[in-house]
């Protein structure tokens, strides 16, 4: 798979996330990479102070570093910043980080040699996973600590981790794959650790892992509509066209397709004395559709960020149309030009703040709200199903309530999970703690904003597993009537590992089996079998 810098797509990123890809840099990227590297090398040979090339970092930016210490400066940067803590990042996340960092550096604005990008891709293609602790980044000045650990492994000083969690010294793992440790030159360590690639990879990981869960939610929500003998009138396209939200319009269309041909629905079109269904049935397009719109927007933000250059300072060589002949105007302290006799290639090195991950943090907070709401309305559907006054099914979905408790406590479990997600959904981006002696005085907390999505997604998958069990149980009381062909397949899929519960038994194992089925994408596959069904993140 060729990496075309600035032209990554969600499909490409999802394939890298899934694994099994070999990556190579598109040849057209090399001229810009070499031009920016030449500009940095000229700056390193000069006398003007250039941040991160011949100065210290953060609050120490005014400290000059001698020519003989420039290589040590970069190595010391990586070693000092490798102070992350917590469980290592999952292999799919690290694969994305390697690819995203390579693609960003390959835009030709970071001043690194092609060898640096080749080292990132070689580690990826060798199947090596740098051991990157998951905690320690505040999402500004880049994901410094986690990216430092990744770079330390490339240098042969960190660790790699295998699928079993075993750690191997980096030098040993590189040698076993015939790879040489990366030797850093001017600015290269800084370019490798500045950037939002870890927070972006974590957010993309959440987007990709939530996709089958959201598709399962649509299938299970439709099954619940039939189990409660709900109406499909609220999904009429005319209703949703009047409001105009794309996600709402699409979710209504999904429900119409999922319920098409249901004999259960046909049985109560006439003579139903319930004028309107409860909101958890009737307002699914409005609620889940709004969540879908938020997730689609987040996907756009993350795709932009995946294609962005987010380190600092940034290099603008002459090929980029920057002011010809400018003597590193943005890099020299106080605007001083390089001394006479030190004329670099035309271009500029400019300090900025693209490493600030606020766009990622805000996107992740929106994703958190959407994930939580998908679980919240599913919990309400479970509560509706066990309430005989609303569902018109036996109390707690058991034929002998009193002797049997039925689904009473399954709903309690779902409520507990939904409540946890309310706490997780508190926005991370509104928090900021100054760092680096107040030089870095506003940070995004994007890395945590993205990382906290995984327990939320796991909670929603389990809530949906409980709803799937409850909806299938409800269908049993409506037999011999059948649901639509696709929903009957969803019912049969569940019955393959969970029998109807006509007297009490523990359903803990059934919940986990249903959750695993959702995670594997088996309900998602049913959803995608619907005719003319586009990818979830693309509006119809």
46: helix, strand or coil: coil
Q: Are residues 157 and 269 in the same domain?
A: no
What number is the average pLDDT over the span 302-328?
Answer: 74
Give the CA angle between residues 171, 176, 177 to the nearest 5°: 105
Element (H, E) at 86: strand 85-88
Q: Are residues 382 and 513 in the same domain?
A: yes
Q: Which of 51, 254, 255, 407 is catalytic?
A: 51
Q: Are residues 120 and 258 in the same domain?
A: no
Residue 538 falls within a domain, yes or no? no
Element (H, E) at 350: strand 347-350
Beta-bridged to residue 3, according to DSSP, are: 25
Residue 536 falls within a domain, yes or no? no
Looking at 427-480, which runs of residues are DSSP E strands? Answer: none
Tell whether the torsion through CA atoms of 68, 70, 74 and 77 is positive or negative.
positive
Q: The tokens of 306 are what? A: 């995946």
Q: Are residues 433 and 470 in the same domain?
A: yes
Residue 320 predicted with pLDDT over 50: no
449: helix, strand or coil: helix
pLDDT at residue 329, as a whole number? 34
For residue 77, which of 57, 105, 63 has the smallest C-alpha distance? 57
- Beta 133-135 vs 85-88: how paired, if at all? antiparallel
338-352 confidence digits (pLDDT tens): 333 344 456 899 999
Alpha-helix runs per DSSP H in 113-180: 114-125, 144-154, 170-176
407 is catalytic: no
Q: Are residues 295 and 374 in the same domain?
A: yes
Residue span of the structural domain in which 27 resides:
2-195+314-350
- Kindly give, in sequence order, each residue whose CB lies less than 8 Å from that of residue 118, ignoring residues fewer than 6 positions away: 25
Q: Are 140 and 443 in contact (CB under 8 A)?
A: yes
Compute CA 449 distance to the chain's CA centroid, rounded to the nearest angstrom: 10
Supply the CATH number for residue 384's domain: 1.20.200.10
* φ and ψ at residue 423, rounded to 5 degrees: -70, -45
Q: Are 2 and 25 in contact (CB under 8 A)?
A: yes
Q: Are 351 and 313 in contact (CB under 8 A)?
A: yes
Q: Are 361 and 139 in contact (CB under 8 A)?
A: yes
Q: Are 201 and 97 in contact (CB under 8 A)?
A: yes
pLDDT at residue 324, as a whole number? 34
Prediction pTM value = 0.93
Q: Are residues 239 and 211 in the same domain?
A: yes
* φ and ψ at residue 514, rounded to 5 degrees: -65, -40
Q: Are residues 235 and 296 in the same domain?
A: yes
465-503 confidence digits (pLDDT tens): 999 999 999 999 999 999 999 999 999 999 999 999 999
Residue 308 falls within a domain, yes or no? no
pLDDT at residue 330, as a whole number? 37
411-420 confidence digits (pLDDT tens): 999 999 999 9
Residue 537 falls within a domain, yes or no? no
Q: Are 96 and 17 in contact (CB under 8 A)?
A: yes
- Kindly give, in sequence order, each residue whose CB lies less than 8 Å from that of residue 62, ignoring residues fewer than 6 positions away: 49, 55, 56, 333
How many CB atoms are closer than 10 A to CB 168?
A: 16
169: helix, strand or coil: strand
Q: Which of 293, 325, 350 finishes a domain?
A: 350
Binning the chain into helix, strand and coil, the percentages to the nearest 5 are 55, 5, 40
Q: How many whole angstroms separate alpha carbon 535 and alpha carbon 332?
A: 49
Q: How many whole angstroms separate alpha carbon 154 and alpha carbon 148?
A: 10
Residue 336 predicted with pLDDT over 60: no
Beta-bridged to residue 167, according to DSSP, are: 161
Residue 243 falls within a domain, yes or no? yes
Q: Are residues 217 and 178 in the same domain?
A: no
Residue 373 falls within a domain, yes or no? yes
Domain count within the chain = 2
How many CB atoms are closer than 10 A to CB 204?
A: 27
pLDDT at residue 171, as a whole number? 97
Pick the range with the lowest mean pLDDT from 91-95, 332-336, 434-438: 332-336
Residue 256 falls within a domain, yes or no? yes
Supply the CATH number for residue 84's domain: 1.10.275.10
Q: Are residues 384 and 503 in the same domain?
A: yes
- 442 or 351: whose pLDDT is higher? 351
Q: Are residues 287 and 418 in the same domain?
A: yes
Give the CA angle between residues 294, 295, 298 to the nearest 5°: 90
- 394 or 341: whose pLDDT is higher? 394
How many CB atoms are closer than 10 A to CB 321?
A: 8
56: helix, strand or coil: coil
Q: Are residues 208 and 187 in the same domain?
A: no
Element (H, E) at 161: strand 159-161
pLDDT at residue 273, as a whole number? 64
Q: How many whole angstroms separate alpha carbon 370 and alpha carbon 86?
A: 27
350-370 confidence digits (pLDDT tens): 999 999 999 999 999 999 999
pLDDT at residue 326, as a whole number? 36
Q: How many whole angstroms separate alpha carbon 183 and alpha carbon 229?
A: 67
Q: Are residues 450 and 476 in the same domain?
A: yes
The mean of the pLDDT values for the chain is 91
Q: The tokens of 102 are what? A: 């390579």
Q: How many whole angstroms separate alpha carbon 338 and alpha carbon 33?
A: 23
Q: How many angstroms separate the first and last alpha carbons of the chain?
A: 28
Residue 176 falls within a domain, yes or no? yes
């Amino acid at each position: 798979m060729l990496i075309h810098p600035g032209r990554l797509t969600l499909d490409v990123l999802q394939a890298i996330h899934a694994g099994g890809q070999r990556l190579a840099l598109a040849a057209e990227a090399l001229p810009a990479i070499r031009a920016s590297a030449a500009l940095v090398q000229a700056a390193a040979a000069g006398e003007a102070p250039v941040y991160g090339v011949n100065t210290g970092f953060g609050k120490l930016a005014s400290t000059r570093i001698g020519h003989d210490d420039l290589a040590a400066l970069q190595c010391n940067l990586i070693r000092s910043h490798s102070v992350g803590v917590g469980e290592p990042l999952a292999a799919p996340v690290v694969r994305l980080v390697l690819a995203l960092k390579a693609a960003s550096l390959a835009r030709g604005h970071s001043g690194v040699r092609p060898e640096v990008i080749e080292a990132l891709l070689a580690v990826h293609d060798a199947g090596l996973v740098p051991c990157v602790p998951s905690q320690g980044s505040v999402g500004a000045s880049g994901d410094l600590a986690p990216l430092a650990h990744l770079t330390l492994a490339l240098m042969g000083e960190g660790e790699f981790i295998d699928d079993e969690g075993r750690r191997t010294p980096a030098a040993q793992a590189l040698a076993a794959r015939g790879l040489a440790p990366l030797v850093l030159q001017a600015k290269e360590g800084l370019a490798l650790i500045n950037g939002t690639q870890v927070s972006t990879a974590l957010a993309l990981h959440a987007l990709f892992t939530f996709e089958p869960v959201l598709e399962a939610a649509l299938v299970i929500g439709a099954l619940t509509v039939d189990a409660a003998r709900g109406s499909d009138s609220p999904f009429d396209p005319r209703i949703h066209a009047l409001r105009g939200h794309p996600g709402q319009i699409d979710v209504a269309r999904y429900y119409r397709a999922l319920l098409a041909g249901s004999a259960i629905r046909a049985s109560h079109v006439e003579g139903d004395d319930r004028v309107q269904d409860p909101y958890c049935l009737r307002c699914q397009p409005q609620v889940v559709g709004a969540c879908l719109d938020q997730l689609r927007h987040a996907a756009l933000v993350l795709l932009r960020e995946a294609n962005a250059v987010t380190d600092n300072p940034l290099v603008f060589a002459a090929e980029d149309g920057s002011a010809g002949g400018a003597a590193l105007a943005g890099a020299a302290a106080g605007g001083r030009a390089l001394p006479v006799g030190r004329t670099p290639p035309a271009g500029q090195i400019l300090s900025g703040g693209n490493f600030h991950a606020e766009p990622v943090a805000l996107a992740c907070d929106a994703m958190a709200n959407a994930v939580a709401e998908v679980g919240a309305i599913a919990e309400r559907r479970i509560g509706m199903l066990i309430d005989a006054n609303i569902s018109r099914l036996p109390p707690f979905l058991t034929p002998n309530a009193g002797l049997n408790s039925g689904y009473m406590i399954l709903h309690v479990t779902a409520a507990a999970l939904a409540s946890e997600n309310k706490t997780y959904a508190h926005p991370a981006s509104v928090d900021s703690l100054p760092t680096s002696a107040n030089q870095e005085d506003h940070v995004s907390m994007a890395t945590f904003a993205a990382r906290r999505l995984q327990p939320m997604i796991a909670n929603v998958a389990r809530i949906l597993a409980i709803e799937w069990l409850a909806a299938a149980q409800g269908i049993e009381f409506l037999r011999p009537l059948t649901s639509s062909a696709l929903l009957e397949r969803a019912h049969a899929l569940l019955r393959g590992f969970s029998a109807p519960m006509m007297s009490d038994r523990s359903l803990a194992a059934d919940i986990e089996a249903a959750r695993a089925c959702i995670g594997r994408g088996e309900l998602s596959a049913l959803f995608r079998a619907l005719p003319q069904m586009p990818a979830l993140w693309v509006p119809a």
